[in-house]
Amino acid sequence: MADPALILKQAQKELHSGRLDKAMSLCEGLLDNQKLFVPTRLLIANALTQKGKVEEAAHFTQEAAHFDPSNVELQVAAGDILERLTRHDEAAPFFQRALGSRPHDPALWRKMLANMLTSARLKAAERETGNNSTQGISIALGAAPPVIPDQVVQLATKALQTFSDNHELVSLVGEIYLAAGQTDAAELCFERSLSARPALFSAHHNWLQIKHEAEKYQDVIDYHKQHEEAIRNNALCQRVVAAAYENLGDDGTALAFLQRAIDLRPNSPEYIGARGRLLIHMGDFGEALKDLEYALAHEPQVASHGNNRRLAHQGLGNVTDAAKDEFYRFELYGSTPVYHFQKPLWTGEPLSGKRLFIWSDEGVGDVFKFGLQLEELPDDCDVIVMSQPKTVEFLKAAILGIEARPLPRRIKKKKPIQHFSGQATSRDINSSSDYVTFEPFEEDFDYQIPLGCLYGHLRPNLQSFKDKARAFKLPAEAIQPYADLELLSDPDITCVGLAWESSAKSPGDARKFLTIEEMLPILTLPGFRFFNFQYSVSETEIDAIREKHDIPLYHAPGLDLFDDMLGTAAFASCMDLFVGPGSTSSDIAGGMGVKCFRTHLVQSPVNLGQDYVPWYLDQKSVRIPWGKSVHDFIPDMKDWLEANKDHRSKNRQA
């Protein structure tokens, strides 16, 4: 009989020569040999792994580890192969046995704690998706914060106290603290690991991400200047730095950092989609569209990609394509309510004798921008419009023959974040895990469509806007109280509606807004009287501003610009001219037919690529390109006001 040791030696030669089946065949007769129990199984496991049969290889590796529980390397090998198969709970005992034999080995602490953290993350993903398959988990990882058992946090703390100088272990403890909601403790761990060389990218990225989520964008930028060389070749870190610059309104620098991240991770749909958004900010809608098409092809569930594609289509004048992407706007960031109807979406079917339900919660601006299209629906179509309560009375007065209803109560729900970018970053910069819907109600209609999508059928291209732009008409009894105001009675004074900022202003939007002090060159023009349409500023505040600067700026007595949309629209219709940023106030003025000078950033292409806003009768579109601000256009505002000084509203002429 051949010597078993020689047979094993021959099997090893066959393995090294790549003859895997021959090697395993030689080992079959050695499986019961107690002296060769471990090396035989490890050789078979090696061969099976090379053949791609990892499940079978794991079986033999576990047998070897169970045979010799004191062998640390065997325990680690068994744990590692089970981790590879995402069988984390089964791997845990092997890592624990290894650590029990060698309790002062920081590498084994890292193995065990990483196993526990990954297991908790996967269980959180299973809870979120109801799917315990690898595919389902990989999609939803990061969707819900993992529940970290107290025991794991305690072990992490013990490891931190014992191995405080081991940067890799300290960084891992930081991840556990972060997952457990102990953000301050996590930040300290990551900060202690920033000096590690070679750099620990997970520590750098997690520290940056904490600062980003706390909206401490300048801290991110200052950090980059200090650690530039350490993170130059890490895509995740470059991405967060890009996001910080973007949030501070420096889109040009943001694009440079984002491009560096893309160079390091060329096929990332999230990064390429983000570049598409920044290209829109630069006014390059064609290139942006290419990026966003790629991003959506790979991440069709990410609403920000779709909404940005909508903006790119609008900038190019692709009206029908933009309308198709309006649904992404409704779901973007989860802040806008959506419906989940049983009744079908209206896609252009004949409406004669049908009931059409039209809903809108995209802001008051949508009602004034898109609402006039309701008059173009067939007379024998029963139209129901459901919108924000403060717009209902306006709709009833402005459009005869429709049924206007207030929206029901909002309900916030959870959904998984549909993005995963690696173990070190399970949080998506551009997504939210929440969405908002409405309380259900009886669907007493045949078709439904959002108001913001109606133009896909009624304004399918730029040519279809021709000769269709008009203004809402309100009954005389709604307008008369404002037309009769003494402040409007002087026929030699030009009355100008005015807005200048937004109540929800970000650094990126700041370029399109002005302060009252910056508006003084406008407000001191002779022959004009200005009226407040800035709904974030009260009548009392306007009175104080007028006295402080000695300027002719007024507020319609008693008018609630925020909640009284019928009164606000009626008052707007009495203005001769209107000047303001791209905001709800400009939409109200445009919808009421007021001659407007509208400034807006390039990335808000309400003008559909034109030098006017097609939705309205007479609204001049002044695009603010990257590198400029609305301050650069104050001389143009003054010239426009002087050129149109003799223009009068029909309601003032009456």
Tokens 């049908």 — which residue?
Answer: 354
Sheet holding 355-359, edge to edge: 403-406, 382-387, 355-359, 447-450
**Helix or strand run (H / E) with residue 438:** strand 434-438
* β-bridge partners, 434: 414
* β-bridge partners, 553: 530
Q: What is the pTM of this model?
A: 0.81
Contacts of 601 (CB under 8 A, 6+ apart): 281, 509, 511, 512, 582, 623, 624
* Predicted local distance difference test score (pLDDT) of residue 143: 42
Is 528 strand, coil or helix? strand
Question: CA 492 → CA 5, 137, 279, 555, 649, distances in Å?
Answer: 112, 70, 46, 19, 13
* Token pair belonging to 261: 């991240």
* Predicted local distance difference test score (pLDDT) of residue 145: 56
Which of 574, 578, 561 lies closest to 619, judged by CA? Answer: 578
Question: CA 555 → CA 237, 375, 584, distances in Å?
Answer: 49, 32, 17
* Token pair belonging to 457: 């059928």
Q: Are strands 410-414 and 619-624 parallel, antiparallel or unpaired?
A: unpaired
Which of 224, 226, 246 lies closest to 237, judged by CA? Answer: 224
Q: How far apart are the first and last CA of the chain?
A: 118
Which of 37, 40, 60 lies closest to 49, judged by CA? Answer: 60
Alpha helices in 299-363 (DSSP H): 303-316, 319-324, 326-331
* Token pair belonging to 302: 């990410």
Which of 430, 434, 442 lies closest to 416, judged by CA? Answer: 434
Is 258 strand, coil or helix? helix
Compute mean pLDDT per 10 residues along the chain, 654 residues long, and list them: 86 92 92 92 95 95 95 95 91 93 93 90 68 36 60 92 93 92 94 90 93 93 91 93 92 96 96 97 96 96 93 96 90 68 92 94 90 93 95 96 89 50 32 66 92 93 88 96 95 96 69 90 97 93 95 96 97 97 93 96 90 94 90 95 96 75
Question: CA 176 → CA 146, 187, 420, 436, distances in Å?
Answer: 10, 11, 18, 30
Cβ atoms of 601 and 582 closer than 8 Å: yes
Question: CA 63 → CA 25, 71, 112, distances in Å?
Answer: 18, 13, 20
- The Cα–Cα gap between 533 and 538 comes to 10
Q: Which fold has domain 476-653?
A: Rossmann fold (3.40.50)
Domain with CATH 3.40.50.2000 in the chain: 476-653
* Predicted local distance difference test score (pLDDT) of residue 251: 92
Which of 564, 542, 539, 563 lies closest to 551, judged by CA? Answer: 542
